[in-house]
Amino acid sequence: MTEPLAFHRMIDADQRKASAEFRERMRTRRTVRHFSPEPAPIELIEDAVRCAASAPSGANQQPWRFVVVADPDLKRRIREAAEAEERENYERRFPDEWLHALEPFETDWHKEHLEIAPYVIVVFRIDYGVEDSRRLKHYYVAESVGIATGFLLAALHWSGLATLVHTPSPMGFLNHVLERPANERPFLVIPVGYPASGARVPVLHKKELREVMLVR
Ligand SMILES: Cc1cc2nc3c(=O)[nH]c(=O)nc-3n(C[C@H](O)[C@H](O)[C@H](O)COP(=O)(O)O)c2cc1C
């Protein structure tokens, strides 16, 4: 079954303007590691998740779950478990090479943002479906969830919210704390909110177009 494509053909000048506006807005997105406890409207989160859920996915299987954690007690439990893993990482598991790569970000095992930010969105990948207790194979799960998370980050930034992409590896504790089934696997943890006043970010260089794009 098909339906007519709703495609809005823009005039050339509008296309260029829209493209430049989006590029400039996205250029101001930065990973924020110091959050304000100020609340943010849940409608902004809902809209951003709607946007993420509109992403393309392998066979349209939409193999994602976005668990929006606002409850202080759950956020505290996530922080405690994440800090336990991160402490192991920083003090024992991370090789020197990785610790060296992390130096510019001045990160350590303390993850207070997991409690301070008004929301922590935990993105799960759904590795397989379950239908009548049979497993349904999912295709291109990592690609699909990665694209959807990109949509999510762009939408949150577009609506004036700050984000941090966090990977407190291993993340298995999130299934337990958030009561998710075995076919759902934590993918990324994303604190969302407003930056703390005076928040600073590392000076980073982004590769130039000529370094990342080839035209053949
Ligand atoms: C998959 C992924 C995992 C990341 N994990 C962490 C993390 O665990 N802790 C952290 O502070 N930042 C993490 N980051 C944020 C990166 O350090 C950050 O995106 C990068 O330094 C570029 O900075 P920018 O986002 O401000 O452009 C992660 C980013 C990605 C894409």
Q: Does residue 90 form part of some domain? A: yes
CA of 164 to the centre of ligand 1 (A): 7
Say how many domains are in the chain.
1
Q: Does residue 51 form part of some domain? A: yes
List, chain by chain if needed, residues with CB within 6 Å of any ligand 1 atom: 30-31, 33, 105, 107, 165-167, 201, 204
CA of 113 to the centre of ligand 1 (A): 14
The tens digit of pLDDT for each residue in 30-47 reads 999 999 999 999 999 999
Task: Grade residue 106 by pLDDT with cuts at 50, 70 and 90.
Answer: confident
Q: Which amino acid is located at 213 in the chain?
A: M
Q: Does residue 179 form part of some domain? A: yes
Q: Does residue 7 form part of some domain? A: no
Q: What pLDDT score was predicted for residue 59?
A: 97
- Report whether 192 contacts 45 (CB < 8 A): yes
Rg over alpha carbons for the chain, rounded to the nearest Å, is 19
For 83, the domain range is 31-196
CA of 157 to the centre of ligand 1 (A): 15
- Report whether 125 contacts 90 (CB < 8 A): no
The tens digit of pLDDT for each residue in 114-155 reads 999 999 999 999 999 999 989 999 999 999 999 999 999 999
Q: Does residue 95 form part of some domain? A: yes
Q: Does residue 42 form part of some domain? A: yes
pTM attached to this predicted model: 0.96
Tell me the CA distances in angstroms from 204 to 48, 105, 156, one per residue in order.
Answer: 26, 10, 21
CA of 206 to the centre of ligand 1 (A): 13
Q: Which of 85, 102, 166, 207 to mutate to test the pocket of ligand 1 (most atoms within 8 A of CB)?
A: 166
CA-based nearest residue to 58, from 150, 152, 148? 148
The tens digit of pLDDT for each residue in 146-170 reads 999 999 999 999 999 999 999 988 9
- Report whether 40 contacts 192 (CB < 8 A): yes
Q: Does residue 201 form part of some domain? A: no
Q: What pLDDT score was predicted for residue 71?
A: 98
Q: Does residue 8 form part of some domain? A: no
Neighbouring residues of 145: CB distance < 8 A, sequence distance ≥ 6:
63, 64, 123, 125, 187
Which of left, alpha, beta for 116 (phi over 0: left; psi -120 to 50: alpha)?
alpha
Question: Residue 162 belongs to a domain with what CATH number?
Answer: 3.40.109.10
